[in-house]
Amino acid sequence: MRKSILFIIAILCCTSVAYGRVVCGAERVGEWLPKLKGARVSVLANHTAMVGDMHLVDRLVAEGVNLVSIISPEHGFRGTADAGEKVASSVDERTGIPVWSLYSARGRNLTDEQMQQLDIVVVDMQDVGLRFYTYYITMLDVMNRCGDFALRVIILDRPNPNGMYVDGPVLDMRYKSGVGALPIPVVHGLTMGEIALMAVGEGWTKSVDVEVVACEGYTHSTRYELPIAPSPNLRSQRAIYLYSSTCLFEGTVCSLGRGTDSPFEIYGHPDMSGCDFRFTPRSVAGAKNPPFKDVECRGVDLRRLSDEAILAKGFNLEYVIDAYRRTGLGERFFTPFFEKLVGVEYVRRMIVEGCSVDEIRARWMPDLERYKTLRNKYLIYE
């Protein structure tokens, strides 16, 4: 069965675009608000869902929309919980709207009873454009449930801060997990709206009507700086650019700086050799029990790298290979989570065999080129 896609892209001339400001889908209120009239609505959103200086939930309540619930992703509706932390369903204190957490102990799917209360789900979350960042996976899970109940999905699109390039291995679906749901590369080069259209168009989700309210003034060459940290440990633009590469340390015995002021911008291990830089992870908000808590690590500080230098290297295995060699642990350097993050079996094997970054990159390039051709079918933005 062909998937039904209702794809809305309105191209308007307005002062904000003329002066080069990106206008997110949520800010184009006239495009989506009339569609909610008389409907029972839920929003899949978190703290990044801002409409100007007002949160989307507050705007919907102010406009008299029948807002039945808020659906919250990883890190919770307020975006303060640790990675993977269980967050109980609750009630939003400001509005009294129920919050249905998809990261609760109950599980990550909405119940039939919840779905029967709705007509439309509005999606508004700031993604960072990487396969292992979980917001798009939560969106796909909700889209599948909407397909079960013939509900409409309206995605208020936001720019991809890593949307300038595409890089990394395409996921081998043997390693499909909560940090990788689609056969796409680590750096996929899509917005949330575009990835939803691809998932529906390629039959990777159930049949569901998806509308995308596109951004204005954005292209995939736009260097978009996030106004709000999208999750507790992505606190700077540099961290967002480094994240594609340094997140791989989550699948090793090393620390990537959780529990410090600079997560994803540093890496290390207590026994790493040849390093002058030192850091000690502590229990902090967003990293209550980080690896090597209260233990001094020797490591590498990436904070002096310019954005241009980071982006020029793309998805960069140099950091993991450097740490692998400095720790001298061999296979013990890796954990089973590494394959879920990198998405293929050959990267670990080639690192252990002593292959160079260029040799490993050459291995994923044919798959990446095929993905780029597929990606072109679903691009909303130049």
Domain ranges of the chain: 15-227, 237-344
Residue ranges of E strands in 195-295: 209-213, 266-269, 277-279
pLDDT of residue 368: 98
Q: Which of 157, 210, 213, 159 is nearest to 31 (CA)?
A: 213
Question: Which two three-digit tokens encode residue 276?
Answer: 């002058």
Give me the amino acid identity at 94: R
Which CA distances in Å does 207 have to 6, 138, 147, 198, 203? 12, 17, 5, 12, 8
Q: Give 203's DSSP letter.
A: T
Measured in whole angstroms, how far is the alpha carbon of residue 4 from the centre of its chain? 25
The arithmetic mean of pLDDT across residues 164-176, rounded, is 98
pLDDT of residue 82: 56
Alpha-carbon distance 93 to 99, whole Å?
10
Q: Which of 213, 228, 223 is nearest to 161 (CA)?
A: 223
> What count of Cα atoms within 13 Å lies in the side-chain half-sphere of residue 274?
7
CATH of 15-227, one of 3.40.50.2000, 3.40.50.12170, 3.60.21.10, 3.90.1300.10: 3.40.50.12170
Alpha-carbon distance 118 to 114, whole Å?
7
Average pLDDT over the chain reads 92
Cite the DSSP H helix spans in the chain.
15-18, 29-32, 56-62, 112-115, 135-148, 192-201, 237-246, 307-313, 318-327, 337-342, 346-352, 357-376
Which CA distances in Å does 204 have to 2, 61, 134, 135, 361? 11, 34, 16, 16, 27
| Percentage with pLDDT > 90 across the chain | 85
Find the distance separating the first CA and the last CA of the chain, reported in whole Å.
Answer: 29
Q: Is 226 exposed, middle or buried (0-12, 13-18, 19+ CB in 10 A)?
A: middle
Task: Give residue 16's pLDDT band: very low, low, confident or very high (50, 70, 90).
Answer: very low
Edge-to-edge strand ranges of the sheet holding 209-213? 90-91, 98-101, 66-72, 40-45, 120-124, 152-156, 209-213
Which CA distances in Å does 128 have to 124, 239, 264, 360? 13, 11, 14, 24
pLDDT of residue 85: 67
pLDDT of residue 13: 31
> What count of Cα atoms within 13 Å lies in the side-chain half-sphere of residue 105?
1
Alpha-carbon distance 146 to 275, whole Å?
51
For the chain, give the number of residues. 382
pLDDT of residue 103: 79
Residue 2 clears pLDDT 80, i.e. is over it? no
pLDDT of residue 83: 63
The arithmetic mean of pLDDT across residues 46-57, rounded, is 94
Question: What dihedral do alpha carbons 8, 13, 19, 22 form, nearest 10°?
Answer: -10
Cβ 190 vs Cβ 129: under 8 Å: yes
pLDDT tens string 286-309: 899 999 999 999 999 999 999 999
Residue 87 clears pLDDT 70, i.e. is over it? no
For residue 302, the tally of other CB atoms under 10 A from its CB is: 22
The arithmetic mean of pLDDT across residues 173-180, rounded, is 97
Measured in whole angstroms, how far is the alpha carbon of residue 263 from the centre of its chain? 16
The arithmetic mean of pLDDT across residues 337-347, rounded, is 98
Q: Is 45 helix (H, G, I), strand (E, B) or coil?
A: strand
pLDDT of residue 15: 30
pLDDT of residue 109: 83
| Percentage with pLDDT > 70 across the chain | 91
